[in-house]
Amino acid sequence: MTNNGPTPEHRPRVIIIGGGFGGLQAARSLARAPVDVLLIDRNNYHGFWPLLYQVATAGIEPEQIAAPIRAIIRRMPNIKFMMAVVESVDRQRREVHTDRGVFPYDQLIVAPGSATNFFGLHNVQEQSIELKDLPDALALRNHIIAKFEQAVSEPDPDRRQQLLTFVVVGGGPTGVELSGAIAELIGYVLRKDYPTLDPRAMRIVLVEAADRILLAFPPTLSRRAQRKLEKFGVDVRLNTSVVDYVDEALLLKDGTSLATQTLIWAAGIQGAPLGATLTPSLQRGGRVAVTPELHLPDDPQVWVIGDLAYLTGADGKPYPQLATVAMQQGRLVAKNVLRQLQNLPLQRFRYIDKGSMATVGRRSAVARIWGLNWSGPIAWFLWLAVHLFYVIGFRNRVLVLINWAYNYFTYDRGSRALIGGAPLPAVNKPSITGAAEPASLTERDWGA
Amino acid sequence: MTNNGPTPEHRPRVIIIGGGFGGLQAARSLARAPVDVLLIDRNNYHGFWPLLYQVATAGIEPEQIAAPIRAIIRRMPNIKFMMAVVESVDRQRREVHTDRGVFPYDQLIVAPGSATNFFGLHNVQEQSIELKDLPDALALRNHIIAKFEQAVSEPDPDRRQQLLTFVVVGGGPTGVELSGAIAELIGYVLRKDYPTLDPRAMRIVLVEAADRILLAFPPTLSRRAQRKLEKFGVDVRLNTSVVDYVDEALLLKDGTSLATQTLIWAAGIQGAPLGATLTPSLQRGGRVAVTPELHLPDDPQVWVIGDLAYLTGADGKPYPQLATVAMQQGRLVAKNVLRQLQNLPLQRFRYIDKGSMATVGRRSAVARIWGLNWSGPIAWFLWLAVHLFYVIGFRNRVLVLINWAYNYFTYDRGSRALIGGAPLPAVNKPSITGAAEPASLTERDWGA
């Protein structure tokens, strides 16, 4: 303990690492409790990630799923916020080390979430697009539109086909929702924006290693979701593993390959790298084992919740890395921190599964709620209602609803401006004829 | 003329460089005329720049002032669009050279707009923030919020004061509207978001070289606008010229300096650099002289409109570089192109001045309309109505209106998430005590 560390005059200090679903819920549950809370996040906002794929496909605007954390905690006087990147946790000295200073704690709640798992595929990691944060979503949105702009002036049909092939790897909810939304964006909007491009050259491929998509759902719902995706124009490839990504071609285990400049990786997540500074023995997927009360087995003042926490339920399987698990853990961890400070017995985590759902596209979703399977327009409407309810802030709810209504009724997307992307790569001008002579692309798109 | 150039089978080809107010208006006016039009812009959207300062101050969202050009021209079959950066115009060969190929024209409308004029101040150009495009506005928004986040963990009061000093140079409409909006953002929102910071350390300074702000307005309106800005907390410095910007200090002609990390340059514009490839003899401010019919004196097939065009009105003064001038020129140039193709006599440009207006802040604006001076809530309401009318698209109009209503009634700003900015610079940790010891900043903000 340092000379500046906690002294008797201080109220107990709780540091929460991460302002995601788990961390923010823990902070809210500690509001007005007799503790001082410091919430640390690398961003100054709480991201509502279930709608991130809609930002990436120009359905809604990034600010609408980014709730400024300082606004959320404004009326919680015992909660402070610091925008900082946590570098490590020193459990011996009870300190959190960040790029903005060192902060001592009495109780530490670790909720940093997850990172993308590339399963050791180095080239994929270097060149694919992931969807974990708002800059990722904006980069993907810009990337898709830039590929269409490039295709307009690409004279070679093979290159054009490659530019217009969009591959999503991973048939979980993220991959399914994203490929469905890309299919809608292309089918309803971009086809009309680019009348000179042949729609048959536009391809969306969803690659899944297992024998069905949406493995966490019952097989009937997997089949229905797949049928819907295929109806929207998505080429769903089951039992297909990725081997490598070389020279703008995705190499598959069956020996075939897909020529694409757009590889979106949604095949898996792993615990955030911060876990390794907490304990040397990580569980599968880089997760940190916790007791049923949610603290480290050898350190009852350090709690881990959300995607990073590894805890098995009554069925012997680890709890899934879902927002609902993180939020329920956030509530319990706040309660247990206060109980420990009062020397009361701790409570054990019990997950109440309220169901799960995934949209496939327009008027189409699958859901498992109260043990029942739902699909089609009813599931889609439920999905909209639940997600609108959880978006933070009245203003954002109104804006998201207006965007959804606009998209639904006009078959349009408002936000397809390419803002702040890299410039398009220059066209390969024919080297023999020289720059002064108009290339063939000039004639193709221009008054022909 | 090249071998691929216009042949009798072709309809006349009109290239428009620039999708701003002038270029877009020209394209719209040529819709369904017996010509083929190619509109070229470096962005894929038309930006409604009069509201750009509101994006920079988190009042509205960037997509709401970015109308995708392909959506606008969707129902105009004779108009094509190409997202490209124009490198030069070859008037001998009648070709436009871009990073995406070479395009031949029969008629060329040049409307590339303007660039910031730094008046040869090299350090200012390198280190200041300008406000010309959406990435600039987002960068400024992120910059302001990042300075507040940095100030939270800055133990040195002088450095904190420097972090919280925001200097706008240029008392024209852009500088006035921007400094007023920054004052609102800080006064209503950021003061509450950062309760540990002393509001007296937050400063907004507006620097103007002339003896009054808003030189294009009558002196009474200049005085009223200045009084309002000062009421909102802006430190207005008249008769103050900038000499240099060195070591995060703005050096002024009177020998004093302002320590700031935020220098926003709104002191002047000049014609876009493309002008130099059209003619070797540019007018003052890098503008290209045109005939009253809006074409080059020595080339009646090349037309220049908007901020780049230099043409004097009946009063002997050049027309101002305003959106309304550009739009009226866009309409006339389309008409004159068609008249020339039909061998009809060309019409001369006559500017109909509908007035000008600038907001100062909440319920406050100045306007000169029909020769009358307006200020206060009425001018403010007129400003809102006019700008809302000109925002492109029903959806954007609704979203902007909702944002304005939200901002007005809640005194809040919705969009203050720091998305995709550079990470905050690391705090200077005390080097003697070592990293393991908490710095004083830790104690200051943390449960003290």
Q: Is the pLDDT at A44 greater than 60, yes or no? A: yes
Residues B90 and B33 in one domain: yes
Residue A5 pLDDT exceeds 70: no
Nearest to A356 by CA among A325, A333, A327: A325
B140 and B226, same structural domain? yes
Residues of A in contact with B135 (CB under 8 A): 419-420
Q: What is the pLDDT of residue B291?
A: 98
Collapsed DSSP state (helix, strand, coil) of residue A177: helix
pLDDT the model gives residue A410: 86
Residue A402 dihedral angles phi and psi, to the nearest 5°:
-65, -45
Identify the residue whose tokens are 């319990």.
A332
Interface of B with A in 338-377 (CB under 8 A): none
Residues of chain A positioned with their CB less than 8 A from the CB of B70: 193-194
Cβ–Cβ of B424/A83 closer than 8 Å? yes
Burial class for B173, CB neighbours closer than 10 Å (0-12, 13-18, 19+): buried
Q: How confident is the model at residue A444 (pLDDT cuts 50, 70, 90)?
A: very low
Q: Would the CB atoms of B102 and A4 count as touching at under 8 Å?
A: no
- Flag whether A48 is in a domain: no
- Chain A residues inside the 8 Å CB shell of B10: 447
Minimum mean pLDDT among A273-287, A368-382, B6-20: which range? B6-20
Alpha helices of A102-166 — where are they, by DSSP H? 122-127, 134-152, 157-163
Q: Tell me the nearest-neighbour CA distance from B103 into chain A, angstroms.
A: 6
A59 and A403 in contact (C-beta within 8 Å)? yes
Minimum-distance CB partner of A11 among B84, B436, B447: B447
Tell me which DSSP letter residue A59 carries. Answer: S
- State whether B295 and B238 are in the same domain: no
Main-chain dihedrals φ then ψ at residue B368, nearest 5 degrees:
-120, 110
Lowest-pLDDT choice from A120-124, A413-417, B196-200, B221-225? A413-417
- B372 within some domain: no
CA distances from B252 to A186, B141, B165 (A): 54, 26, 16
Q: What does the alpha-carbon distance between residue A6 and residue B223 come to, in Å, rounded to a whole number? A: 55
User: What per-residue confidence (pLDDT) applies to B427?
Assistant: 63
Please indicate, yes or no, whether residues A260 and A279 belong to a single structural domain of this protein.
no
Judge whether A59 lies within some domain. no
Which residue type does B47 have? Answer: G
In a domain, A421, yes or no: no
> Does a structural domain hold residue B47?
no
A300 and A224 in a single domain? The answer is no
Distance (Å, whole) CA B30 – CA A434: 32
- pLDDT recorded at residue B77: 94
Distance in angstroms (rounded) separating the CA atoms of residues A190 and A173: 24
CA angle B157, B161, B166 (to 5 degrees): 165
State in Å, rounded, how far the first CA of chain B is from the last one: 77
Residues A241 and A308 in one domain: no
Q: Is residue A432 less than 8 Å (CB to CB) from chain B?
A: no
Q: What is the mean pLDDT of residues A318-322?
A: 95
Residue B14 dihedral angles phi and psi, to the nearest 5°:
-115, 120
User: Does A431 have pLDDT greater than 90?
Assistant: no
Note the pLDDT of residue A60. Answer: 92
Query: Looking at the structure, do residues B227 and B282 belong to the same domain, yes or no?
Result: no
pLDDT at position A416 is: 82
CA B244 – CA B227 distance, rounded (Å)? 28
What pLDDT score was predicted for residue A284? Answer: 92
Among the three residues B221, B242, B267, which one is the final residue of a domain in this structure?
B267
Q: Which of B214, B232, B267 represents a domain boundary (last residue)? A: B267
CATH classification of the domain holding A213:
3.50.50.100
Residue whose C-alpha is closest to residue B201's, from B237, B165, B168, B176: B165
Residue A398 touches chain B, beta carbons under 8 Å: yes
Confidence of residue A411 (pLDDT cuts 50, 70, 90): confident
Residue B210 near residue B238 (C-beta atoms within 8 A): yes
Element of type H or E holding A288: strand A288-289
Question: Based on the domain organization, do A100 and A219 belong to the same domain?
Answer: no
Q: Which site among B64, B76, B94, B100 would you substitute to test the A interface, given the most A Cβ atoms closer than 10 Å to its Cβ?
A: B100
Q: Which residues of chain B have pLDDT under 70?
A: 1-9, 422-423, 426-448
C-beta of residue B412 within 8 angstroms of C-beta of residue A75: no
Q: Residue B440's pLDDT is what? A: 38
Average the pLDDT over A208-216 and give the result: 97
**Three-state SS annotation for chain B:** CCCCCCCCCCCCEEEEECCCHHHHHHHHHHCCCCCEEEEEECCCEEECHHHHHHHHCCCCCHHHHEEEHHHHCCCCCCEEEEECCEEEEECCCCEEEECCEEEECCEEEECCCEEECCCCCHHHHHHCECCCCHHHHHHHHHHHHHHHHHHHCCCCHHHHHHHCEEEEECCCHHHHHHHHHHHHHHHHHHHHHCCCCCHHHCEEEEECCCCCCCCCCCHHHHHHHHHHHHHCCEEEECCCCEEEEECCEEEECCCCEEECCEEEECCCEEECCCHHHHCCCCEHHHEEECCCCCEECCEEEEEECHHHEECECCCCCECCCCHHHHHHHHHHHHHHHHHHHCCCCCCCCCCCCCCEEEEEECCEEEEEECCEEEECHHHHHHHHHHHHHHCCCHHHHHHHHHHHHHHHHHCCCCCCCCCCCCCCCCCCCCCCCCCCCCCHHHHHHCCC
Q: Is the CA virtual torsion A248, A252, A257, A262 positive or negative?
A: negative
What is the model's pLDDT at position A433? 30
A396, pLDDT greater than 90: no
Residue where one domain finishes, among candidates A308, A328, A362: A362
Q: A422 contacts in B (CB within 8 Å)?
A: none
Q: Are A94 and A283 in contact (CB under 8 A)?
A: no
Residue B50 lies in a domain: no
Contacts of B194 in chain A (CB under 8 A): 70
The rounded distance, in Å, linking the Cα atoms of B159 and B260 is 9
Question: Looking at the structure, do residues B135 and B168 belong to the same domain, yes or no?
Answer: yes
**CB of B424 less than 8 A from some CB of A:** yes
H helices present in A185-322, as ranges? 191-193, 219-231
For chain A, give percent helix, strand, coil, nearest 5.
35, 25, 40
In the predicted structure, residue A448 carries a pLDDT above the cut 80? no
Reported as a pLDDT band with limits 50, 70 and 90, residue A4 is: very low
State the pLDDT at residue A438: 34
Q: Does B446 touch chain A (CB under 8 A)?
A: yes
Q: For residue A396, which residues of chain B lie inside 8 Å, CB to CB?
A: 414
Q: Which residues of B are tagged catalytic?
A: 177
Contact A151, A203 (CB under 8 A): no
Residue A439 has pLDDT above 60, yes or no: no
Q: Kind and range of the H or E element at A401?
A: helix A394-410
Residue A313: domain span? 13-42+84-116+270-341
Report how many domains make up chain A.
2
Q: Which residues of A touch B403 (CB under 8 A)?
A: 395, 399
Question: Residue B91: which of B238, B246, B357, B304 has the closest Cα?
Answer: B304
Band (pLDDT 50/70/90 cuts) for residue A2 is: very low
State both tokens at A95: 């300190």
Using CB atoms, pick whichever of B44, B395, B436 lies closest to residue A93: B436
> Would the CA dihedral through A445, A446, A447, B3 be positive or negative?
negative
Give the integer Cα–Cα distance in Å for B173 and B427. Answer: 37
Token pair, residue A230, equals: 């295929």
Cβ-defined contact of B442 to A104 (cutoff 8 Å): yes
Spot the catalytic one: A95, A154, A177, A208: A177
Q: Is A95 a catalytic residue?
A: no
**A227 and A292 co-located in one domain:** no
Cross-chain residue pair A402–B406, CB shorter than 8 Å: no
B window 15-44, beta carbon within 8 A of A: 36, 38, 42-44
Specify the CATH number for the domain of residue B314: 3.50.50.60
Does B8 reside within a domain?
no
- Is A438 in Cβ contact with B4 (below 8 Å)? yes
Dist. CA A166–CA A202, nearest whole Å: 8
DSSP A312: B
Asked if B234 contacts B198 with a C-beta cutoff of 8 angstroms, the reply is no
Q: Which of residues 186-205 of B touch A (CB under 8 A)?
A: 192-194, 196
**How close are the terminal C-alpha atoms of chain A, in Å?**
77
Q: Is residue B316 part of a domain?
A: yes
Beta bridge partners of A264: A129, A168
Q: How many other C-beta atoms are found inside a 10 Å radius of the C-beta of residue B345?
A: 8
Tell me the pLDDT tens digit for each residue of A65-92: 999 999 999 999 999 999 999 999 999 9
Q: Tally A–B CB contacts below 8 A.
A: 235
Residue of B nearest to A149 (CA): B83
If you ran DSSP here, which 8-state letter would residue A170 be given? -
Alpha carbons A223 and A243: distance in angstroms, whole number? 26
One domain for residues A170 and A293: no
**Do residues A132 and A38 both lie within one domain?**
no
